[in-house]
Amino acid sequence: MPHPNPQALEFLLSRRSRPAKTLTAPVPSRAQLEPLLTAALRTPDHGKLEPWRLVVLDKAALNALGDPVEARGIALGLNAEQIAKGRHQFDTGNLAVVVIEAPVISEKVPEVEQTYSAGAVCLALLNAALASGWGANWLSGWASHDRPFVETSLGLAPHERVAGIIHIGTEKATPPERPRPDLERKVTWVSN
């Protein structure tokens, strides 16, 4: 017999990310952030490989990444708008957790499953932050996929990738609800 948790289900049915540009201080302290990180790392992980790691960036660390992002944007020949958008999350962020996919060589667990696990860490951290009353948003952007930037500025090894950057803070305003997928269009029921 199932043991329902109606509060958890209600949270999942009504959860709403908060746009990163609306997040402000205060942000979680280390003591407040650690349970959220613990919840995120309980993510399903086929083979117990732990194919991910986290880097917590405070405001000073985020702000220090703005100039390197701009320099990479210029080197890549991006236009001013793309560069500004690329550095915005670093210039205005107060706290972010970079979820890094760190695949492990395994004969049993395909790398794609390890990628899915890293994405699950992102969603678990996002949901843990929201469930704790913080505003949170999962971002990436062109800079998070630029090898020279992530290896030099975030310390990624050549085999690692950024799965997401989870910004966490206090929300300034509750965003309006947005349209959600239509169950009838997205679900196929199969039975024999």
Percent of residues, the chain, with pLDDT higher than 70 = 100
Flag whether 178 is marked binding.
no
Flag whether 142 is marked binding.
no
pLDDT tens sequence across 3-39: 999 999 999 999 999 989 999 999 999 999 999 999 9
Eight-state DSSP code of residue 47: G
Which pLDDT band holds residue 46 (cuts at 50, 70, 90)?
A: confident
Flag whether 138 is marked binding.
yes
Cα of first residue to Cα of last residue in the chain, in angstroms, is: 25
Flag whether 42 is marked binding.
yes
pLDDT tens sequence across 109-167: 999 999 999 999 999 999 999 999 999 999 999 999 999 999 999 999 999 999 999 99
CB atoms within 10 A of CB 168: 28
Are 42 and 111 contacting, i.e. CB atoms less than 8 angstroms apart? no
Query: What pLDDT score does 7 carry?
Result: 95
pLDDT tops 90 at residue 184: yes
Query: What pLDDT score does 174 carry?
Result: 81
Query: What pLDDT score does 38 carry?
Result: 98
Query: What pLDDT score does 51 carry?
Result: 97
Mean pLDDT (the chain) is 95
Q: Which CATH architecture has domain 18-174?
A: 3-Layer(aba) Sandwich (3.40)
Domain ranges of the chain: 18-174
Q: How far is CA 4 from CA 1, 101, 108, 134, 168, in A?
A: 9, 32, 33, 25, 29
Flag whether 139 is marked binding.
yes
Query: What pLDDT score does 178 carry?
Result: 86
Flag whether 189 is marked binding.
no
Instruction: Taking the CA atoms of 150, 151, 154 and 159 in sequence, report the sign of the dihedral they define.
Output: positive
